[in-house]
Amino acid sequence: MRVAVLASGGKDSTLALYKVLKEDYEVKFLVSMIPLREDSWMFHYPNIKLMELFAGAVGIPLDKAETSGLKELELEDLRRIIEKLDVDGIVSGTIASSYQKNRIDKICGQLGLACITPLWQQKPESILKEILESKFEVIVTGVYAYGLGADWLGRKIDDEAVKHLLWRSKQYGISPVGEGGEYETLVVNAPIFRKKITVLEADKIWDGQRGYFLIKRAVLEDKLDGHISS
């Protein structure tokens, strides 16, 4: 089946991409929406403009478009880009958000496309475990929840970070995978990457309660092991 993957460069959409590639789907495109405001209901904001690098890293063509970021109107922006693609289905990395899934389902239904959600209703712990076991290199690019401070900006998601997220989830009720917008991420290397993303310059933008890791300069570099899995 020919598919397009809704991609932000974050861990969830990248894991969804990883899974469909392993299942031998033919991924024709990555689709990225670039919101013009921070509080988009559907799409990532920090560092979304790095998607050209991400697409180069995985070797898949990128189709992108700007969106107002306004509730519901951004869905029309997404529909306009999807309806032009010669694919049979759309892949998304949504985990538990009925708001996102229902709206993507609706667009796919209107266009006669399959809606594929490899992570839907999976336990957060299992998703984080799979990311670690699959050797994804993930950094935190935004934090928006109590209990996650400025020290998390640029932090790598490793065993210690996962333990902390699970503990914070029990303590404050946040989603360990950030499904509620508690934090956002960027995958800089993974088994499906042909090249890795290396951050050369970045600033931590923090207002005392929330903030983001603004990547000002990044490049693609060869992977030391040269290994690509499909």
Tokens representing residue 6 in the block: 């809704």
Quick check: 39 pLDDT over 70?
no
Give the up-direction half-sphere exposure of residue 2: CA atoms within 13 A in the CB hemisphere: 7
* Angstrom distances, CA of residue 80 to CA of 127, 151, 227: 31, 39, 36
pTM for the structure as a whole:
0.91
Main-chain phi, psi angles of 207, to 5 degrees = -105, 10
pLDDT confidence of residue 14: 97
Q: At what angle do helices 124-133 and 11-22 cross, to 10 degrees?
A: 70
- Tens digit of each residue's pLDDT (9 = 90 or more) over 43-93: 444 566 789 999 999 999 999 887 765 556 778 888 999 999 999 999 999
From the centroid of its chain, how far is CA 201?
21
Residue with token string 């799979």: 130
- Tens digit of each residue's pLDDT (9 = 90 or more) over 148-200: 999 999 999 999 999 999 999 999 889 999 988 899 999 999 999 999 999 99
Tokens representing residue 141 in the block: 């690019």
Residues of the chain above pLDDT 90, percent: 72
Q: Among 212, 39, 200, 43, which Cα is nearest to 142's?
A: 212
Quick check: 226 pLDDT over 60?
no
Average pLDDT, the chain: 89
Residues of the chain above pLDDT 70, percent: 89
